[in-house]
Amino acid sequence: MSKIKFEVCGLQFKHFVPFFILVMLATYLGFMPTVTLAEGLTATTFIATFAFLMAVGGIFFWLGDTIPIVNKYLGGACVLPLFGASAMKLFGLVPDTLQNGVKVLMNGGFQDAYIACLLVGAVLIMDRKILLSATARYLPAIIGSQVFALGFCVLGGLVTGYGPVEALFNVGAPTMSGGSAGAMTTIPALYTSLSGTDMTGMAGQFLCYASIANVIAVMMAAIGKAVCEKKAGLVSPDSDPTILRRSGVTMVTQAEKKLPATTDNYKHLGGGIFMCFAIYMAGDMLGKLPGLSVIAGLAWSIIIAIVIKATGILDDTIGNYCANAMNFMIRALLPTLIAGIGIKSMNLTDLTSYFSVPALITIFLGVLGAFLGAMLFGHLFGLYAFETGVTAGLCCCNIGGSGDIAVLSACNRMELLAFASISTRIGGALMVVWIGFLYPLFQH
């Protein structure tokens, strides 16, 4: 049994614990710095709120990443901060002033800042040649997968009584939004923007459904391989796993030059954050213009980032600063964000309403639709059906990076992780565009 490694906020146990105790003492002995809001409410300041969220979010994130099974298949690293922080609020362990501080922080744009860096960085981190190659041959499989997945969700909503509209937006969108972060942050923020009503409280439900879809995707990858191997031509040989079926065709799968995911140049990091924010604002502006408002601002931000990457108008080295900003948000601030969502938007007493047989059937049909749709379109475009179904389909229906690894491990296809990454990033971005179109048509 391997030794458990303790690291929270980048600190080992002996370094983290003293600072954790300081924050907890200030919190529960009434020494948290506060400010009076215009409404007459008292809220903790930015420093106090952020320190508390980093402390508890970091602990829960580490626990979720450490507990077996939960960490690999149920998205534990993201699940526990959300549910743990919400449980603390339920049991009276989050003072009212601190709850107000969390609301101010989250409503004041912390979540939007994370989303801006996540969406823009996810596109600009990709190699241009891989992006263009994927567009020509692999993108149709991703689109076909999503069309089938959403269609199967609607069908599930109809036959189970769950409701076709609810199935489309509560199951299809969050489970194919680019991982747990998309389900918890991007989709609720998109719905909030489109409806004008705070929908961040849906984060818990969406994450539950994405976690269930992740487990189904892992099982489907293992079972699907055994079934597909019974018919020649659907699966590539185990001795040489590949996604290309036809000879004489090419598809770029390796970056021409590997750019660093992180940086120790803080000016470059600051520049990346600035560019992500600017592109986010540009998308928001386009989403408010007459004639262009049919596409949501978040979707416009993604479109702008894709155009920047595909055309090469921004040097890759400079554009990679945005990827550095994305990785900073994910690696340093994700537990903080999740804990904030748990306190501000999630009520554990509502959990029982998330789980139902109709919802489970709808999720299963959605994952099945994604798998079959990707297989069909992959076959039509000269790719192995099973490998395309797994990467473009099942890897779009999981909790992100760890979900990709679990799915690919289940069918012994880890060699195709690059394609899974394309599906997670581009597929998640496309889902935002899809929903930006569909939501105004179905929601009144």
Annotate 33-91 with DSSP letters as a single string: -EEE-TTS-EEE-HHHHHHHHHHHHHHHHHHHHHSTTHHHHS-HHHHHHHHHHHHHHHT
The pLDDT score that the predictor gives to residue 247 is 53
The pLDDT score that the predictor gives to residue 281 is 95
Q: Can you say how many angstroms the Cα of residue 66 is from the centroid of all Cα atoms in its chain?
A: 20
The pLDDT score that the predictor gives to residue 351 is 61
Distance of alpha carbon 78 from alpha carbon 75, whole angstroms: 6
The pLDDT score that the predictor gives to residue 258 is 67
Helices (H), 196-265: 203-228
More confident residue, 350 or 54: 54
Query: CB-side exposure of 74: number of CA atoms within 13 Å?
Result: 16
pLDDT over threshold 80, residue 96: yes
**Contact (Cβ atoms closer than 8 angstroms) between residue 299 and residue 433:** yes
**Contact (Cβ atoms closer than 8 angstroms) between residue 277 and residue 296:** no
- The 10s digit of each residue's pLDDT in 382-398 is 888 999 999 999 988 87
The SS3 call for residue 290 is: coil
User: Strand 42-44 relative to strand 34-36: parallel, antiparallel, unpaired?
Assistant: antiparallel
Split at pLDDT 50, 70, 90, the class of 336 is very high
**What mean pLDDT, rounded, does the chain reach?**
84
More confident residue, 311 or 178: 311
pLDDT over threshold 70, residue 256: no
Amino acid code (one letter) for 427:
G
The SS3 call for residue 8 is: strand
**Contact (Cβ atoms closer than 8 angstroms) between residue 41 and residue 104:** no
Number of residues in the chain: 444
The pLDDT score that the predictor gives to residue 100 is 94
**Contact (Cβ atoms closer than 8 angstroms) between residue 64 and residue 81:** yes
The pLDDT score that the predictor gives to residue 54 is 96
More confident residue, 149 or 203: 149
More confident residue, 88 or 185: 88
Split at pLDDT 50, 70, 90, the class of 1 is very low
Which residues, at least 6 apart from 367, have a Cβ–Cβ distance to it below 8 Å?
A: 149, 175, 213, 216, 217, 220, 394, 397
- The 10s digit of each residue's pLDDT in 48-78 is 999 999 999 999 999 988 888 766 656 567 7
**84-97: average pLDDT:** 92
DSSP state of 6: P
Kindly tell me the sign of the dihedral angle through the C-alpha atoms of 415, 421, 426, 428: positive
Q: Can you name the residues that pair with 43 across neighbouring β-strands?
A: 35
Instruction: List the chain domain ranges.
Output: 13-109, 113-442
Measuring CA to CA, which residue among 83, 150, 75, 161 is closest to residue 357? 161
pLDDT over threshold 90, residue 109: no
pTM of the model: 0.71
Maximum pairwise Cα distance, the chain: 71
pLDDT over threshold 50, residue 210: yes
Split at pLDDT 50, 70, 90, the class of 92 is very high
**Contact (Cβ atoms closer than 8 angstroms) between residue 280 and residue 301:** yes
Distance of alpha carbon 275 from alpha carbon 48, whole angstroms: 28
**Contact (Cβ atoms closer than 8 angstroms) between residue 145 and residue 377:** yes
**13-19: average pLDDT:** 95
- The 10s digit of each residue's pLDDT in 416-443 is 776 787 777 778 878 888 888 888 887 6
**77-100: average pLDDT:** 88
Q: Return the minimum-mean-pLDDT range out of 116-130, 163-177, 220-234, 258-272.
A: 116-130
Radius of gyration of the chain from Cα atoms?
22
